[in-house]
């Protein structure tokens, strides 16, 4: 059974920005998908005891963020977008915005405890890029 006190983070990833939600908080944060936004996100997460960060597989847009978070010591789960969408429907949350998606991802992570993905080696990243 999931622990509703643990801190899970949901990140809705797009080409130009990241919307971030943290369980236990109604506030969402938006960061630009650039070096400044990366530092702002890390500054937000640093004081928290994060159990897991959950985001959807979004083609190529999530790769750099996953690498940044993993290199910073955070466990990251990348999930099939269908899973949190079905989870939202099960709660009758049919509205779909980036901020709502981030909140759903955080709740999904808290309830279903997705497995963090292992860090990939540079060789595997190069092969995947080919």
| Residue entry with tokens 């990243």 | 125
Q: SS3 for 69?
A: helix
What is the rounded CA–CA span in Å between residue 130 and residue 125? 9
Q: Is the dihedral of CA 70, 76, 80, 85 positive or negative?
A: negative
The answer to whether the CB of 15 falls within 8 A of the CB of 59 is no
What is the rounded CA–CA span in Å between residue 67 and residue 12? 16
47's CB contacts (< 8 A; 6+ apart) are: none
Tell which residue, 61, 84, 81, has the closest CA to residue 8: 84
Q: What is the pLDDT of residue 118?
A: 85
Q: What is the pLDDT of residue 59?
A: 78
pLDDT along the chain (130 residues), means of 10: 78 96 96 97 97 91 92 96 95 92 97 89 62
Q: What is the pLDDT of residue 42?
A: 98
Q: What is the pLDDT of residue 1?
A: 45
Q: What is the pLDDT of residue 91?
A: 93
Domain 7-129 sits in CATH 3.30.420.10: yes
What is the rounded CA–CA span in Å between residue 93 and residue 3? 22
Residue ranges of the domains in the chain? Answer: 7-129
């Amino acid at each position: 059974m999931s622990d509703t006190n643990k801190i899970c983070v949901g990140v809705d990833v797009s080409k130009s920005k990241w919307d971030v939600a943290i369980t236990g908080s109604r506030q969402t944060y938006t960061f630009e998908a650039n070096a400044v936004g990366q530092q702002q996100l890390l500054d937000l997460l640093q004081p928290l005891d994060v159990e897991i960060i959950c985001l959807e597989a979004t083609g190529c847009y999530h790769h750099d963020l996953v690498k940044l978070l993993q290199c910073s010591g955070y466990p990251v789960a990348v999930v099939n977008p269908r899973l949190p969408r079905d989870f939202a429907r099960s709660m009758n949350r049919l509205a779909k915005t980036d901020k709502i998606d981030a909140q759903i991802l955080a709740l999904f992570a808290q309830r279903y405890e997705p497995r963090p993905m292992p860090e990939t080696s540079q060789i595997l990243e190069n092969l995947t890029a080919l």
